[in-house]
Amino acid sequence: MSETESTIRTHTDGRVGWITLDRPRALNALTAQLMREVVEAAAAFDRSHNIGAIVVTGSTRAFAAGVDIAEMEGMSSSDMLLDDPFALWERFAEVRTPVVAAVAGYALGGGCELAMMCDLIIAADDARFGQPEIRLGIIPGMGGTQRLLRAVGPAKAADLVLTGRQLSAEEAERAGLVARVVPAEHLLEEAADVAAAIASHSLPALYAATAALDAAQEGSLSEGLRFERRAFAQLFDTVDQSEGMAAFREKRTPEFRHR
Ligand code: CO8
């Protein structure tokens, strides 16, 4: 199916940038166009100093039911290597601005992997997570064996990747994949509140925090601790550190310059 219309919608609300996946007929399956649009929108929000948090969401029925199978079906391994669709997602994972995934309905395959690339996941109580690729004769290709294992541990990751079964929102929260579960009708309100709370903080501190959390996922404990100490020390050169601590001493709300 060739699409010329945009497959996402974006808007801003205060200091929060919203990206809504918008291919309802295919349960927001991720086409190359949609992936490009999401990555470009996220990068544009990331460049703006007026944005302190990004929310990625889908519809009430699906966050995203995976990479678009129709588009992927005819590809050869050399197409995969030459087109390198994975590289695009690395740009999304590198966004420094905190990203909240607000997930209702299906987050399967590439949809679950997209949610896991975000800094935290808030789920509606009807959300379903899974890596069903094994049922298609393939395996996850956008981090589903790596980020999922780090999020839920080796036992649960093997269970999901090898059987292709789905996790309910409640089980996903218990397993550590999801930060919060809320009634479906309150999902967007909760995501907006969390994102606004994040975006009220100092941008340099937020960037340092997402980078340090990423470092924890990627390397050894000693490398992560070194990274954290360096990032922590650097923040003591920022006006927002002075302001944050002065505001605490003076019992008032900080007026961060960089936010
Ligand atoms: N791709 C394309 N179309 C899809 C997809 C998908 N992943 N998921 C759903 N759709 C389409 C259906 O084909 C259907 O279209 P149509 O009405 O034209 O037939 C429409 O969405 C509605 O879907 P269903 O009728 O199937 O709705 P149900 O409520 O019966 O079922 C499910 C919902 C359970 C979500 C079901 O649609 C399903 O199993 N979907 C596929 C889930 C899946 O296997 N996802 C993994 C895909 S592979 C992947 O993500 C690999 C990632 C790594 C790639 C790295 C390269 C970048």
Q: Tell me: the pLDDT tens digits for 123-175? A: 999 999 999 999 999 999 999 999 999 999 999 999 999 999 999 999 999 99
Ligand 1 pocket, CB under 6 A: 26-27, 29, 65-70, 85-86, 106, 108-110, 132-133, 136, 140-142
Do 187 and 124 meet the contact criterion of CB atoms below 8 Å apart?
A: yes
The CB-side HSE value for 84 (13 A sphere, CA atoms) comes to 5
- Best substitution site from 1, 3, 7, 27 to test ligand 1's pocket, by max atoms within 8 Å of Cβ? 27
Q: What is the dihedral of CA 28, 38, 103, 118, to 10 degrees?
A: 140
ipTM summary value = 0.98
> Model-level pTM?
0.96
